[in-house]
Amino acid sequence: MWRFYGRRFLANRLALAGASVLLFLGLAAVGAPVLSRTDPNQQRLTERLMPPSVHHLLGTDDLGRDVAARMLHGGRVSLRVGLVAVGISVIIGTWVGVTAGFFGGWVDGLLMRVVDIMLCFPTLFLILMVIAFLDPSLWTVMTVIGMTSWPGLARLVRGETLSLRERDFVWAARGLGLSAPRIVLVHLLPNLVVPILVSATLGVGSAILTESALSFLGLGVQPPMASWGNILTSGKDYLHVAWWLSVFPGVAILVTVLALNLLGEGLRDVLDPRS
Amino acid sequence: MGAFLFRRFALTLVTLLGITLMTFLVMRIAPGGLTAGTTDLSARVSAHEQRKKFAALYDLDKPWYVQYGRWLKRLSRLDFGRSFKDDRPVLEKISERLPNTLLLNVLSLGLVFFVAVPLGILAAVKQNTVWDRAVSALVFIGFSAPTFWLALMLMMLFGVTLGWLPLSGLHALNADELSATSSVLDMARHLVLPVLISAFAGLAGLSRFVRNGLLEVVRQDYVRTARAKGLPESRVIFRHALRNALIPVVTLLGLSLPDLIGGGFIFETIFAFPGMGRLGFDAVMARDFPVVMGVGTIAAFLTLAGNLLADVTYALVDPRIRLAGKHR
C-alpha cells in the first residue's frame, strides 16, 4: 500500500516540488546556527542599510544586522509557529469535530454553534483582541493562533464523522458492544487521518501567514528575535531606500506557504481514494 | 420556504447572542482587569474619574452575568459606550468609518466577481491547457502571498518608483480646496491600491470555485442534452451550464465577508485607510475596550448578516436547498 501511494506521490510533480522546497527549508532551519556564522542580532551601525553584496548576501537592515542571517533564523521561527499552532488546532478541532459528529443531538448543536460563532469573527481581529492583552512572545503567538484556527477543521471532521458513523463497519463495532471511545479511536480516527493531514498541511501555511502578519504589526515575535514578519516591518519604514528589506522576507513567506499549499493539495490527490 | 426562513432566523439569533457573549468574555479575560490600562489614555479625564465611570458603566462590582446582561441591554439600544481615548460615543466613531470600509469592500467584491468569474470559466472550458495552468498558478499564488507584503510591493512600485499613486489615506492633504470632480478623482486614486490588494486574495478562491463548479455541471445530463441537440458550445456554456455553476458563488461571496473585513485590519493599517479595520487596530493597541468591543461585535454582525443573506438568496434560487430539510 505504501509503495502504491509512494509511486502516486512521485508522479505528482507539484506535490513533489512542494515537498522538496519544504525539505530544503526544514534543513536550513535546523542547521541555521551551523550554516551561518554571522550573529543575526549583531548590530554594526557603520554598515546600516547596505545593499546586497558579497559580505552581506541579502544586505543589512537599519541597525546594520545581516539580513541573510536574520532570514535564516526567522525561518526557524516561522516553521516552529506553523507546526505548534497547527498541532494545537488539530487536537482541538479533531476532538470537537469527532465529538459533535459521533454523539449528535444537543452536543452537536452546542459545539457547532460555538464553531459558527467563532467563524463569524474575522480571525485576525479575534487574534488581535486576545493577543493585544497578553505579553507578546513566541509562545503566546503559537497558542493564540492554534486556539483560534480550529473551527474550520472541526466542521470538516464533523462532516466526515457524520458520514462514517452510518457505515457498516461502525454499526458492526456498535453491534459488538464496543465502547464509544474505542469505536472513535480504533475505527473512526484512522479513517479521518487523510482529511486531517491535508487540512493540517494547508493550516501550517496559513498559520505562517498569520504569524508574519502579527509580527509585521508588532504584536507577534518581538525584536530582537528575527521573524520574516518583523523584518518586513523595518522594510516598510525604508521602502524608498532599501528594497531588499521588503522583497526577500516576503518572497520567503510566499515560497514557504506556496510549497505547503502545493504539498497539501498534492496529498489530497494522492491519498484520496476517490480521485 | 417559511419553515426554512424561520429555522434560519432562529439560528441566526442564537449565533448573534453567542457573538456578544464571546466578545464580552474575551474582554473579561484580559489580564490586569478592564481598568488596568485606562489610566494613561485620556488627558482630558482624570484616572480616578475614568475608573469610576468605567466601573459604573460595566457594573464591575456585580457578578459577570449581571454585567453581561446589562451590557447586552445597552447593546440592544445600540449603545456601545464611549471611547476611553476621546470620550466620544463608540457608535459615532464606528459609523464615520464604516462607509469607507463598505465602499472598499463593495468595490473589491465587484472587482473579484468580474475578474474571477471569467477566469474560472476560461480555466474550465480550456481544462488542462496552458490557460488552465496559468489560472491555477494565479490561484496558488493568491492563496500563498501575504497580503500585507503585496501591499508593500505595490506601494513600492506605484507609489515610490513610478510615483503614480498616493501611498496612504483616502484624501489628499489639500482635499478641502479641490473641486467636486477632482475630489472624487483624488479619492479614486487613493482607493486603487487598497481595492487591488483586498481583491487579490478573494480572486484566487473564487476563480477556482467557478472552475470546479463549472466542470462539475458540464458533466450533468442536461448539458449533454444541450450539446446533443446541436447547440453551439458557447450557448451550452453560457446559457445552460453557467447559470447553475454560479449559484454557489452567492454563498462564497457571503462567506468571504469576514476575510474582507478581517483583512482590512492589516492593509487598512498599512495604507492608513480611514476604515473600521484601522479603527479596531488602533483601539486594540490603545486598549480602548469599548471601541474594541464595538468593532468586534459589529464586524461579527456584518458577517452574520452576509451569511444569512447568502443562505436566503441561495434558497431562493435553488429549490433543492429549501426542500432538503423536509425529508428529515
pLDDT digits (tens, 9 = 90+) for B108-140: 888 888 898 889 888 888 888 888 888 888 888
Whether the Cβ atoms of residue B280 and residue B265 lie closer than 8 Å to each other: yes
Least confident of A30-44, A162-176, B143-157: A30-44
pLDDT at A198 over 50: yes
Contact B201, A213 (CB under 8 A): no
The mean pLDDT of chain A is: 86
Select the residue of A120, A217, A235 nearest B300 (Cβ to Cβ): A120
Give the ranges where chain B is alpha helix by DSSP (H): 2-28, 47-58, 64-76, 90-125, 130-144, 147-154, 180-218, 221-228, 233-235, 242-255, 257-270, 276-285, 289-317, 319-324
The pLDDT tens digits of the residues spanning B168-178 come to 777 766 666 66
Question: What average pLDDT does this structure show over B215-232?
Answer: 86
For residue B184 the three cell numbers come to 472624487
B82: left (phi over 0), alpha (psi -120 to 50) or beta: beta
Taking one residue from A and the other from B, the number of pairs with CB-CB distance under 8 angstroms is 135
From A133's Cα to the closest Cα of chain B, the distance in A is 6
How close, in Å, is residue B154 to chain A by CA atoms?
A: 11
pLDDT at B248: 76
CA B284 to CA B290: how far, in whole Å? 10
In the three-class reduction of DSSP (H, G, I as helix; E, B as strand; rest coil), residue B169 is classed as coil
pLDDT band at B258, cuts 50/70/90?
low
Residue B237 is placed in which grid cell?
456554456
Mean pLDDT of chain B: 79
Quick one: CA dihedral B21, B23, B26, B28, positive or negative?
A: negative
B302 CA: distance to closest CA in chain A (Å) = 9
Tell me the per-residue pLDDT of B237-246, one tens digit each, with 9 for 90 and over. 888 888 888 8
Chain centre distance of CA B210: 20
Task: For chain B, state the CA radius of gyration.
Answer: 24
Nearest residue of chain A to residue B151 (CA atoms): A236
Report whether B27 contacts B289 (CB < 8 A). Answer: yes
Say yes or no: A250 contacts chain B, CB-CB below 8 A. Answer: yes
Distance CA B239, CA B221 (A): 15
Q: What is the mean pLDDT of residues B303-312?
A: 81
Answer yes or no: is pLDDT of B23 > 60.
Answer: yes
Q: Hey, where are the domains in chain A?
A: 2-40+57-271
**Chain B residues with CB inside 8 Å of A78's CB?**
none
Q: How many residues does chain B have?
A: 328
Residues 6+ apart with CB under 8 A from A172: none
Q: What pLDDT is attached to residue B59?
A: 67
pLDDT, tens digit (0-9, with 9 covering 90-100), for A93-109: 999 999 999 998 899 99
Q: Under an 8 A CB cutoff, do A113 and B281 touch?
A: no
Q: Chain B contact for A126, CB < 8 A?
A: yes
Question: pTM above the 0.90 mark?
Answer: no
- Condensed to tens digits (0 to 9), the pLDDT of residues A102-161 reads 998 899 999 999 998 888 887 788 888 888 777 778 888 899 999 999 999 999 999 999
Contacts of residue B311, defined as CB under 8 A and 6 or more positions apart, other chains included, come to B8, B251, B254
Q: How far apart are CA B155 and CA A239, in angstroms?
A: 8
| E runs forming strands in chain A | none
DSSP, collapsed to helix, strand or coil, labels residue B295 as: helix
User: So what's the pLDDT on residue B259?
Assistant: 65
Share of chain B above pLDDT 70, in %: 82
Asked if residue B174 lies in contact with residue B102, where contact means CB atoms within 8 angstroms, the answer is no
Measured between beta carbons, the chain B residues lying within 8 angstroms of A209 are 144, 146
CB < 8 Å to B285, chain A: 132
This model of the complex carries an ipTM of 0.84
What is the per-residue pLDDT for A73? 87
| pLDDT digit string, tens, across residues B28-83 | 776 555 555 444 444 455 566 666 666 666 666 677 788 888 888 888 888 888 88
* Residue of chain A whose alpha carbon sits nearest to that of B161: A240
Q: What is the pLDDT of residue A111?
A: 94
pLDDT of residue B325: 52
Cell output for A79: 516553521
CA distance A151 to B15: 14
The verdict on a CB contact (< 8 Å) between A125 and B18 is: no
CATH topology of domain B90-326: MetI-like fold (1.10.3720)
Residue A45 in grid coordinates: 551601525
Q: What percent of chain A has pLDDT over 90?
A: 33
Please give the pLDDT value at position A15: 86
CA atoms within 13 A on the CB side of A218: 9
Closest Cα in chain B to A214: B266
Give the three-state DSSP class for A172. Answer: helix
Superfamily of chain region A2-40+57-271: MetI-like (1.10.3720.10)
Cell of A87: 498541532
Q: Please indicate whether, in this complex, the C-beta atoms of B149 and A253 are within 8 angstroms of each other.
A: yes
Rounded CA gap, B214 and B125, in Å? 8
What is the residue extent of each domain of chain B?
90-326
Residues of A in contact with B300 (CB under 8 A): 117, 120-121
Query: For residue B138, how far is the Cα from the chain centroid?
Result: 22
For residues A28 and A255, the answer to whether their CB atoms sit within 8 Å is no
A147 vs B: CB within 8 A: no
> Cβ(A127)–Cβ(A210) under 8 Å?
yes
Q: Is B30 helix (H, G, I), strand (E, B) or coil?
A: coil
Neighbours of B229 (CB within 10 A): 8
Residue B289's closest CA among B96, B61, B57, B17? B57
Note whether A257 contacts B: Cβ–Cβ < 8 A: yes
Residue range B10-23: mean pLDDT, rounded: 86
More confident residue, B299 or B257: B299
